Structure 1
Amino acid sequence: MDEVKLKIIEEHPIGNGFKSFRENFALICRSMDLANSPDAFDRLGPSRQTIAYDMVTTLPRLRASQHLRSATGEKFLLRDILEVTIIINSSEFDLSRIKPLLKAILDNSDDVTVWTQVYEAFSRATPLTPLSETSLSATHTRATEATATVKAAPAVTRNITPTSGATNNPPETPWKRTTASFSNSSESRPEVDPILKEELGNPRIGITKFREFFFRRVPNLETAAAAVFDKCCNGDEPIFGQDGWEGWPSKAREDDVLAWFENTISKLEELAVDYRPANLTYRRKLLRQPRLPLIGSTGRRSMDIGFINDDLGAVGRYRWSHILVPGELKSNPAADAPPLAWIDLATYVREVLSAEGTRRFTLAFTLCGSCLRLWEYDRLGGMASEQFNINEAKGGLEFVAAMLGFLWIDEEGLGFDPSIMRSEEKTFIEMKRDGELERLIIDETITLPRGIASRATTCWKVHRESDPLKKPLVVKDSWQYIERDEEGLLLKEATEKGVINVARYYHHETVYIDGVEDDIRTSIRKGLDTMADTADTADTTAPAAISDTLNNIASTATCAMSAITAMARRRSTSASASSAPTVTAAAMSFSRRRRRRGRSVTPQGQTRVMQLRSSSRSNNSSKDSNGDDNSDSSGSSVYLSGTKRRQRDANLDDEDEDGATVQKPAKRSRSESVKSGDAKTLRNRVHRRVVLQDYGRPIYTASSPKALVEALENCIRGHESLRRQAGLLHRDISINNVVIDEEGPADRKGFLIDLDLAIKVKRTEGSGAKEKTGTRAFMAIDLLLFGKQHSFMHDLESFFWVLFWICVHYDGPNKACKSEFDRWNFMCDHDLAGTKMAMVYKSDLFCDLAESSFTQFYTLLIPLMDKLRDAVFPNGQPWKEPNEELYSTMRGILLEWLQSNSG
């Protein structure tokens, strides 16, 4: 064993880690009149697997297992252990492989001997039996009736015949991990980057006329850019010559490029003063602070360069909400390829889109060496322009046009939502309800989106302008796949059918911009990106993707060669011999397109005022919605650092390894009748809003354990009512979708929100969506292992994990704290399932874990959690068959606890 492993073992001693296991083994031996020795193991019959499971599930709780690498060094030893944990009850598992380890533990051997046997047992070259339902059949033997001993609570009135959990539904939509699903994560780059790559997939690059398309709102930009570039080349003091831009640093080091960039932008503004749009009422400036983190992100994030408004006044620290256009610099032209500059830029874009709920998309740029590329990111992902060498005539002109475009384009052109308006210091939304125009005043932001290619759900607390009592309503703004059933219609149906403890419907609509339904393909991209969808498979590549990749390689090579040639010319040509080149009309001419500028118009033809300038970007604001404490999306205050990676050369970093299994998406059809197309069908998202009558806070904000338990009981009741009375299955139980209202009536202290992923229980077809996202930390074990058809039993298990998560992550209302369980956000499905199974297998193990992991605020819930564990996981494992009584069993446990703690 090497020195690194020995040091880890020394720093993390086993201590009494196996005390409980040894006592249990001795008890079993005594009950069978056997001597308490390792030799007794072979004579214990069926109890051998129980003992083996007990021993193996103890190992992940030993700190050393979380730090030791596996024998191959490719992963941690913990993963090897968890793989065995999942299949150890299978009849195919050879128990003899763990006997030497059992002997070392029972003999109370030293730590090095024990861990040597662990390596021998769990790090063999021979692979384990692949996970499958067949090989795990023994693991999934369940009790067939409830084992809870408490008195059951009365069930919700059943207006329809109870439905079985095993329905003949279509295949489930494959799960796809996104950065929007993190809960209480410190969001360090090594953890976030692989999932961000998975979320975005392969971007479409090399799109021609990209800049002309997105800057079409800027009047006379083509003329202005050509005139300014001509001045750069042929003016009294030319700044662009045969070798490119004056002062361009030959080695393109970051600090040198930043200084050049700032100086050049200032000169371009001076040269363009006569061409500024007449109606321009704002000024922008360049922000460069690559080593100073911006405020408003969960992990520590800094940005190389970007554009901000110039009216911010004296600002001590800039915020992500101030950033209008993010940019990324790399010294090497070859870095303009995945995952180098692209993933760094996407990291900035994610923070920009998350800082405010008023962005439909954002523009950005990368400059790798002297190679410029423009980007657009929206809720489907990213796409990019061709690559231009700014030290060549064509690229230099493109650089001038792009930079003037960023300085002059209006906020709607930068992606801000014109349907969110501002007048007399009020921010508001207008909608037409029952034939009457209503204005909703935004009072505060409740939640902000955290991903890029996602639903990007944003919620605001609002009130009707005409309501003197200002009764709160909630507006939910999101981007849904067009194949999905409209959440507004599902909520309306649930409300009309009298569903209890679910947010009540008020209104819903699709957002329109300039009289056009606001979707990605038509409204934002307007057909610019026409790449057909391709399956996310590991062994195939779409022709379009291959073409993009080859084009990018060729473009990068050409740009790199041009930069090298220019550098060589600089070294071989004397300063006296150099002169500014003559830029021909052909080199400076742009494709002129007819540009249409208009104001945002509603479907009813009402003219919108120009979209607000958010207060978080004005000099009147010193805080964005996240506050000064770098709060994450769940309101927690976590300060763990996530360092910014610098990749100066294209070969510095390989792609981050992601252990997650990516499922191949199956073709889907819509929930009711709309069939999906073939594999070439383009994905699309549409911008929708739902208005709810009920206002509450995420359940983790509960003021006391009693308030938490009371709200959770109400929400379980709401889930049952939603399923029985409306025939809807929620499918996304998480800490953000389980809501508390401590000021509400006694029977409505808690309610469910978010039916984005809800389905009809008796549907016969799929939704047609390519994938669905969810909060993995709260997913049921069977869903993580097998991707089974989602049933109400899985949602009930998710309620258990919600309560557990709060108990280990919150030490009071909104007082989030770091926990070792943060890793659940990033573990692959099988590892997470194995970890959860090991936790719930036995009462004493679970209680030991809870005592060491629960915060002081929630310690008194440990007995309650253990009772719920016993109900949700009889015999320490998930139920094999659906159990309709689990609703009343779980509610009964919660009500019993409330009654016993009513004092």
Structure 2
Amino acid sequence: MTPPITRSMRSKTSHPPDDALSSSAQASAGQSVTRAPPQPRGAPVPPSAAHDLAASMARISIQGLAEASSDSTASTPPSLTSDALREHTLNDTCNRLQKGSKAPRKVTDLSLYNELWDRVIYDVDRLWESFDDITVPAHLHDGSRWVGWPESTLEHRVLKWFFADIHPLIQETPAAVTNNSKQSKYGPRNTRAAVKKATAAALGCTMEYVGSGNLVIKNGDANRKGDLVVRCCLPGQDRQTYWDQVRVVGELKSNPDKDGRDRTFIQLANYMRELFGTQPQRCWAFGFTLCGEVMRVFRFDRSGAVGSTAIDIHKRPKTFVGAMRFFMTPDAEAIGFDPTIKWNPLNSGLEVVYDPTVHFVNRTLPDPFILADHQKYRIDHTFIVRRYAIATRGTVCWRARTFDALDGSPWSYVIKDQWRASERDQEGDFLARIPPGTQGLPQYIWHTDVCCGLPGTLMDVAGHVRKGVDHGAQDKGRSALSSLTDTSRNLYHTAARGIRLQNRVKTRLIMRPLGSPLLSFTSYKHLLLALRDAVLGHRYMYTVHNIVHRDVSLNNILLHPQKGTSTTAPYGFLIDFDFAIDRARQGVSGADFITGTFKYMSIDMLTGAMSGPHSPIQDLESFYYVLLDIAIYYDERGRLRTPKPRPTIFTSLTTVPDQSDDIRTTAASKKQLYLKQNEFMKQVFPTFNDTAKQQLCAVVDEWRQLIANTQKGADTSRWIITRHAPPVMVPQRQREEDISDVYDEVLRILERGIVDR
């Protein structure tokens, strides 16, 4: 599901100053831009494209994946989550970027800087309370400093000292813990650790530090190395490390002055993005920076990150060693994994928290499971959907089947976990209204806000993850974005300065059937049948329940697994109602925010020219762009065309518009231009694949004309004009009969296309 883009309608958002742009981007401002030809999917992004994306992020006035509440302030800066670097995130089809985005650091740095702006709180001293103090032998520390500490703090020298003196110490037994052992929020720390260590040992797994050096860690979205990582491994395993087995990541710098700088933090955030993408079931992830002798610990979660106070490891050796040993804990819950996902080790009745790093290195272990409404469901450890980002919903979908189903039986359910913004409705609240067998929609099974620990204890960021960390002024809006430079400390916020915590709640949804990506269609007739069903499902939700989807996109329409022979059998269905609204409750649901996936946004969405709340007509236009996207960029079997056709109607997020414009206006203008038949046939139609030119031309042209006609009659606003006050526009809702007519006409167009096939 390609990440949605959200923008506040109430006022224009702040833009970063021009010095946030690269010099090449500034040079291009205000004049036409020559763009490099499109790169094949999976190819590294060239430097010019990196500059383009940097400039786009600086000017873009849409906020990706920010489920902001209706009381958000107008100062919210534009932000694009790093997941947008991956064009698609369905992971088991031809629709996936098989080798990841491979985006260079220049691109991901700026993306993460936007994503984590005003989402980081520093100098939280209580973070050190997570770790026990460890007794340090006198031959390693003389009371004032570490004896073997190198004169030069270059990375390789510090690593040599660490593996010679510290690593053997932290691998010792728990007897080294001092008498002032602290009480963990998870229970008696030593007892839990001993149990987990015994379990891991029985499975043959160990936790160890690895200096990754010049070796790229495998299975990542981008090429990343990491300086020092903790990984789960089996005895005798080679030195190659995969993100799937990494548990904690550290970033080393030789200069203490690098502590607290944006570049240092963003470099660590790059690794955290890989961890959350590879292990999306995490509630949080630990990382640390060691800049010379100055250390900080960070705990990243779906709302951003919390950073500790800085310590001098010479002055606080017990704390330093305690933290480094804690990072090797086999306790899956303590290290950040979801305690509600469990498994049965050693074919016993014992239930322990699922640790994906252990399952990765030992592929013979049984599948994990979750408990839902007194029913256990086994989940496949691979993912249908996941996101490579940090401060986001963190959506992950698994295949599932009932716990007692025979091995090899089909995975017939989908379990969807995400961290929704606390002020938003649950997707399950919308799907629960759907009767079984409704055409074009999934079958609802169960949903809940996830609880853990004591009954009724909500799993959220504010309470479960951060445990009441002071964020300062909570009524403060997000500030305007500033430049990311080598010396900047713009992300350095303390409680005194304050940030606004966007609390997120872990939500779980179970539904069926297990569909296939829309691009798995077998013919254009199959594609049109699936689109028709999805439109029928969309119409049902609106006409019966007053619900508008608001994020129609390529990845939110699935093919039904049932193999039908008649045109009335189920062929497709619409999913992902995360951003849906109940139009009767628009104020509560955040209906005053424009939402959608950028590529498929309607013209009115892009311009913000709507005279009322989000209408089904905007979603029906998005269905049109889904069909158009497939006709242009994919062949008749849903395979990506190589090389890509020249760009026409769709605007890339890496496009750099003129200084006087922005990317939304550029995208809207292009779509508006190509509603004209002459322009469409001369410019867009030639980019269709050859089969689509023959089989989809009539359908697309009729649909284009319908949108053009709807646009002409779309202005239903009226103005109140008096002599004593400025003119006031009074939004008028589109007539329900007009909306019904558009639904009918779209379905007629699709039915005619189906019959013609």
Q: TM-score, normalised by structure 2?
A: 0.70
Retained in 2: the 8 A contact 1:872–1:878?
no
2:9 equivalent in structure 1? none
Cα distance, 1:705 vs structure 2: 3.1
Cα distance, 1:200 vs structure 2: 1.7
CA distance in 2, matches of 1:733, 1:409: 42
CA distance in 2, matches of 1:354, 1:878: 45
User: Could you say what secondary structure the match of 1:507 adopts?
Assistant: strand
Sort the Cα spacing of 1:775 and 1:328 in 2 relative to 1 into closer, same or farther, 3 A: farther
Deviates more, 1:316-325 or 1:402-411: 316-325
Sort the Cα spacing of 1:432 and 1:170 in 2 relative to 1 into closer, same or farther, 3 A: closer
Sort the Cα spacing of 1:265 and 1:432 in 2 relative to 1 into closer, same or farther, 3 A: same
Sort the Cα spacing of 1:888 and 1:400 in 2 relative to 1 into closer, same or farther, 3 A: same
**Which residues in structure 2 correspond to 1:216-227 (within 5 Å)?**
221-222=132-133, 225=134, 227=135
Cα distance, 1:324 vs structure 2: 0.4
**Identity across the alignment (%):** 25
| Structure 1 alignment gaps of length 5 or more | 1-66, 82-129, 133-168, 216-220, 542-646, 657-678
Cα distance, 1:210 vs structure 2: 0.6
Cα distance, 1:894 vs structure 2: 2.4
Task: Say if 2:248 is the partner of 1:325.
Answer: yes
Sort the Cα spacing of 1:716 and 1:419 in 2 relative to 1 into closer, same or farther, 3 A: same
Match of 1:446 among 384, 389, 392: 384
Retained in 2: the 8 A contact 1:421–1:429?
yes
1:510 partner amino acid: D
User: Could you say what secondary structure the match of 2:109 adopts?
Assistant: helix
1:702 equivalent in structure 2? 521
Task: Say if 2:704 is the partner of 1:802.
Answer: no
1:846 partner amino acid: F
Q: Per-residue CA shift, 1:513-532, capped at 9, x if unaligned?
A: 21222111111222134434
User: Could you say what secondary structure the match of 2:244 adopts?
Assistant: helix
CA distance in 1, matches of 2:544, 2:466: 41
1:792 equivalent in structure 2? 616
User: Could you say what secondary structure the match of 2:342 adopts?
Assistant: strand
CA distance in 2, matches of 1:770, 1:316: 52
CA distance in 1, matches of 2:238, 2:460: 36
Match of 1:200 among 108, 116, 120: 116
CA distance in 2, matches of 1:706, 1:316: 50
| Structure 2 alignment gaps of length 5 or more | 1-21, 36-58, 62-68, 89-100, 178-189, 201-205, 348-364, 492-497, 717-733
Retained in 2: the 8 A contact 1:181–1:776?
no
1:868 equivalent in structure 2? 703
2:267 partner amino acid: D
1:521 equivalent in structure 2? 462
Q: Per-residue CA shift, 1:126-154, capped at 9, x if unaligned?
A: xxxx999xxxxxxxxxxxxxxxxxxxxxx
2:749 equivalent in structure 1? 893
**Which residues in structure 2 correspond to 1:142-181 (within 5 Å)?**
177-181=80-84
Cα distance, 1:349 vs structure 2: 0.6
**Which residues in structure 2 correspond to 1:124-143 (within 5 Å)?**
none
Point out the structure with max Rg over C-alpha.
1
CA distance in 1, matches of 2:60, 2:129: 52
CA distance in 2, matches of 1:893, 1:245: 79
Cα distance, 1:825 vs structure 2: 3.6
Cα distance, 1:887 vs structure 2: 2.0
Q: Per-residue CA shift, 1:703-736, capped at 9, x if unaligned?
A: 3333222211211121111100121111111222
Flag the structure with more relative contact order, 1 or 2, with Cα contacts below 8 A and sequence separation at least 6: 1
Match of 2:87 among 153, 172, 184: 184
Retained in 2: the 8 A contact 1:335–1:650?
no
1:593 equivalent in structure 2? none
**Which residues in structure 2 correspond to 1:147-546 (within 5 Å)?**
177-182=80-85, 184=87, 186=101, 187-202=103-118, 203-213=120-130, 215=131, 221-222=132-133, 225=134, 227=135, 229=136, 231=137, 234-235=138-139, 238=140, 242=144, 244=146, 246-250=148-152, 252-269=153-170, 274-275=175-176, 278-279=194-195, 280-281=197-198, 282=200, 283-311=206-234, 313-315=236-238, 317-390=240-313, 392-394=314-316, 396-408=317-329, 410-423=331-344, 424=347, 425-433=365-373, 436-442=374-380, 444-466=382-404, 472-495=412-435, 499-515=438-454, 516-538=457-479
CA distance in 1, matches of 2:211, 2:323: 18
Sort the Cα spacing of 1:356 and 1:171 in 2 relative to 1 into closer, same or farther, 3 A: closer
Sort the Cα spacing of 1:313 and 1:893 in 2 relative to 1 into closer, same or farther, 3 A: farther
1:465 partner amino acid: F
User: Could you say what secondary structure the match of 2:249 adopts?
Assistant: strand
1:779 equivalent in structure 2? 601
1:177 partner amino acid: L
User: Could you say what secondary structure the match of 1:411 adopts?
Assistant: coil
Retained in 1: the 8 A contact 2:289–2:297?
yes
Sort the Cα spacing of 1:408 and 1:772 in 2 relative to 1 into closer, same or farther, 3 A: farther
Cα distance, 1:389 vs structure 2: 2.2
User: Could you say what secondary structure the match of 2:432 adopts?
Assistant: helix
Task: Say if 2:17 is the partner of 1:77.
Answer: no
User: Could you say what secondary structure the match of 2:115 adopts?
Assistant: helix
Sort the Cα spacing of 1:428 and 1:271 in 2 relative to 1 into closer, same or farther, 3 A: closer
Match of 1:729 among 533, 548, 555: 548
CA distance in 2, matches of 1:770, 1:198: 23
CA distance in 2, matches of 1:170, 1:532: 19
Sort the Cα spacing of 1:491 and 1:312 in 2 relative to 1 into closer, same or farther, 3 A: farther
Sort the Cα spacing of 1:338 and 1:131 in 2 relative to 1 into closer, same or farther, 3 A: closer
**Which residues in structure 2 correspond to 1:652-801 (within 5 Å)?**
683-741=502-560, 743-745=562-564, 746-763=568-585, 765-767=587-589, 774-786=596-608, 788=610, 789-801=613-625
Q: Per-residue CA shift, 1:458-486, capped at 9, x if unaligned?
A: 11111113456757111111111222222
CA distance in 2, matches of 1:320, 1:364: 14
Sort the Cα spacing of 1:749 and 1:875 in 2 relative to 1 into closer, same or farther, 3 A: closer
Cα distance, 1:244 vs structure 2: 4.0
User: Could you say what secondary structure the match of 2:439 adopts?
Assistant: coil
CA distance in 1, matches of 2:306, 2:233: 28
User: Could you say what secondary structure the match of 1:708 adopts?
Assistant: helix
Retained in 2: the 8 A contact 1:177–1:195?
yes
Cα distance, 1:689 vs structure 2: 0.8
1:790 partner amino acid: H
1:17 equivalent in structure 2? none
Report the structure, 1 or 2, having the larger helix content.
Answer: 1
Cα distance, 1:748 vs structure 2: 1.9
CA distance in 1, matches of 2:460, 2:475: 20
CA distance in 1, matches of 2:264, 2:70: 41
Retained in 2: the 8 A contact 1:177–1:773?
no
CA distance in 1, matches of 2:691, 2:288: 47
